[in-house]
Amino acid sequence: MKLSLVASLALLSSTFIASAQAQERLSGITMGQQAPEIAMPDPAGDTLRLSELRGHIVLLDFWASWCRPCRMENPNLRATYHAYKDSLFSGADGFRVFSVSLDRAGGGAAWKKAIEQDRLDWPWHVGAVESGINTAANTYQVHFIPTNVLIDPQGKVIGMDLHGEDLDRALDALLEHDPAKLAEMKKQQAKAERKRKRKARN
């Protein structure tokens, strides 16, 4: 499924003015391109891949425990995550956040503590606190944090450096409004939830 043309155009127009500033923060990507794959370890050492979230609207968020502006932004990001994570989007199954920490080698304890303190309770956190080589930051050419990339269900970049109300407006533009489609999506969502519960009992 693809995002509706109207929703896509609304989102692109809402981010066009800020695109120059976004490129200063993220010079390795451009609007409309396929988001490069990320495969990095989570706090437990298991590898997580950005592509595992295909089918969702994804916010790829770059931050660090030592970054004060990032820490100040985290409550807003958490609120947005909980407000939209189960929302019905056009062609997408909810909203997800994939967080990439720029904490340096040896900074694992501070990273984990910041996740806990800021209650960043989504499961997609990766970093390079062991190797010190942050392949995601290098690929996306991250120059300043906090910054982020909004990705559509097919893995394409549809927004950059969106924060607070700007991010909320971008997500609102992607919501599904067709009553028939909403009814079908809710039906499928309920079916998936029943399947998940049956699997958990077995």
**Residue 9 belongs to domain with CATH number:** 3.40.30.10
Condensed to tens digits (0 to 9), the pLDDT of residues 161-193 reads: 999 999 999 999 999 776 776 676 677 767 766
Give pLDDT, residue 1: 42
202 is a domain residue: no
Dihedral through CA 73, CA 89, CA 53, CA 58, nearest 10? -30
185 is a domain residue: no
Mean of the per-residue pLDDT values for the chain? 86
Given pLDDT bands bounded at 50, 70 and 90, which one contains residue 132?
confident
191 is a domain residue: no
What pTM was estimated for this model as a whole? 0.81
22 is a domain residue: yes
Residue 85 has pLDDT above 60, yes or no: yes
Domain count, the chain: 1
Given pLDDT bands bounded at 50, 70 and 90, which one contains residue 26?
confident
Strands (E), the chain: 39-41, 47-49, 57-63, 88-89, 92-93, 95-101, 125-126, 147-151, 157-160
- Its domain, for residue 147, covers 5-176
131 is a domain residue: yes
